[in-house]
């Protein structure tokens, strides 16, 4: 393992929280690096963002690109690596990547969330053969076909709207009797000619031979013939890396932070969708805000130490 120089700050995660923390850290002229596995995080999968102030309607990748170019102007570029473990020893935090070891005294965890799974028969078997968790990434393969989107929140609504313009027919299947997402998306769903909403219904099984052919429901039509199934039933904090670090988390695994984004471990801050901050609202704007607060608190702490 190649040992790298120790930095005053490492930002782990290159989604909106991590990138905004980087923007602030660069302007504060801190000695820092940003490490990310997927540049842009889940923001890259948002085909349309309509509620980020100042940009108007913009795609997630476009918004990411804007932040990256702002960082480039500040001569900062995130490092791409997949951190496998984090350990704190005698005040130093060690991060172990694929082949490199990074060290720091201040860490911002901006790890984001992972997609929830339905855990029904056929979900794993047909993954990549009709089952997908990302409409923006895989929607194109279902041009002029029939697909189902499962879920009733913003992820499902935005996926259905995106797919409604690509596929011939989209069934939006939610288990409650009404949709839960943003009323503006709901209105668009109601008036979209390719989208049919099926409420109060669970998908019990995904069936097919070589690829997805139909879904079995516990209500309504009983089964529907589809070519694809998009599972959009929510997000859960990414936590695999946190166990040996011992960061306190709530009963749903969210990282507990205070109003300065500090975690229970001295030297470790957290920002973005995986924290208890911002009333757990998972929006790009709140992730950015938490990243800014964390970087600023670290800047002030480092200044005091000098």
Residues that bind ligand NDP (CB under 6 A): 46, 49, 51, 118, 150-156, 158, 174-176, 180, 202, 232-235, 281-283
CB of 52 to ligand NDP, least distance (A): 8
Q: How far apart are CA 93 and CA 87, in angstroms?
A: 6
Minimum separation from the CB atom of position 90 to ligand NDP (A): 38
Minimum gap (Å) between residue 155 Cβ and ligand NDP: 3
| Nearer CB in complex with ligand NDP: 199/302 | 199
Contact status, residue 274 vs residue 109, Cβ threshold 8 Å: yes
Cα–Cα distances in angstroms (integers) from residue 263 to residues 12, 258, 273, 293, in the given order: 14, 7, 14, 13
CA-based nearest residue to 281, from 177, 187, 154: 154
Which residue has the closest beta carbon to ligand NDP? 153
Least separation in angstroms between residue 15's CB and ligand NDP is 12
CA distances from 128 to 79, 138, 145, 202 (A): 29, 9, 16, 22
Residue 60 C-beta: closest distance to ligand NDP, Å? 8
Q: Nearer Cβ to ligand NDP, position 194 or 236? A: 236
Rounded Cα gap, residues 215 and 211, in angstroms: 12
What are the angstrom distances between the C-alpha of 109 and each of 29, 42, 212? 20, 15, 38
* Phi, psi for 212 (deg, rounded to 5): -60, 135
Active site residues: 134, 137-138
Closer residue to ligand NDP, CB minimum distance, 60 or 97? 60
User: Structure tokens of 36?
Assistant: 């990310």
Radius of gyration of the chain (CA): 21
Between 123 and 227, name the residue whose CB sits nearer to ligand NDP: 123
Question: Of 94 and 192, which has the nearer Cβ to ligand NDP?
Answer: 192
Place of tokens 């704190």: 88
């Amino acid at each position: 393992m190649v040992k790298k120089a120790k930095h005053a700050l490492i930002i782990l995660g290159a989604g909106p929280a991590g990138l905004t923390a980087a923007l602030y850290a660069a302007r504060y002229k801190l000695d820092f690096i940003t490490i990310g596995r997927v540049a842009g995080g889940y923001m890259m999968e948002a085909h349309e963002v309509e509620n980020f102030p100042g940009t108007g309607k913009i795609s997630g990748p476009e918004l990411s690109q804007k932040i990256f170019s702002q960082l480039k102007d500040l001569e900062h570029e995130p490092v791409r690596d997949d951190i496998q473990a984090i350990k704190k020893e005698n005040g130093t935090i060690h991060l172990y990547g694929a082949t490199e070891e990074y060290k720091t005294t201040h860490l911002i965890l901006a790890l984001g969330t992972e997609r929830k799974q339905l855990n029904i028969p056929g979900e794993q078997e047909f993954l990549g053969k009709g089952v997908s968790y990302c409409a923006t990434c895989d929607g194109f393969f279902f041009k002029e076909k029939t697909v189902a989107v499962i879920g009733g929140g913003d992820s499902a609504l935005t996926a259905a709207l995106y797919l409604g313009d690509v596929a011939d027919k989209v069934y939006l299947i939610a288990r409650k009797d009404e949709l839960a997402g943003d009323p503006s998306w709901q209105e668009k769903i109601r008036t979209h000619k390719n989208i049919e909403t099926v409420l109060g219904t669970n998908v019990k099984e995904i069936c097919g031979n070589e690829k997805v052919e139909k879904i079995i429901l516990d209500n309504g039509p009983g089964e529907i013939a589809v070519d694809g199934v998009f599972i959009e039933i929510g997000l859960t904090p990414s936590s695999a890396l946190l166990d040996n670090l011992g960061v306190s988390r709530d009963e749903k695994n969210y990282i507990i932070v205070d109003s300065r984004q500090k975690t229970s471990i001295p030297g470790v801050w957290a920002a973005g969708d995986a924290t208890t901050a911002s009333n757990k609202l998972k929006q790009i704007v709140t992730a950015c805000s938490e990243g800014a607060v964390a970087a600023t608190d670290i800047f002030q702490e480092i200044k005091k130490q000098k």
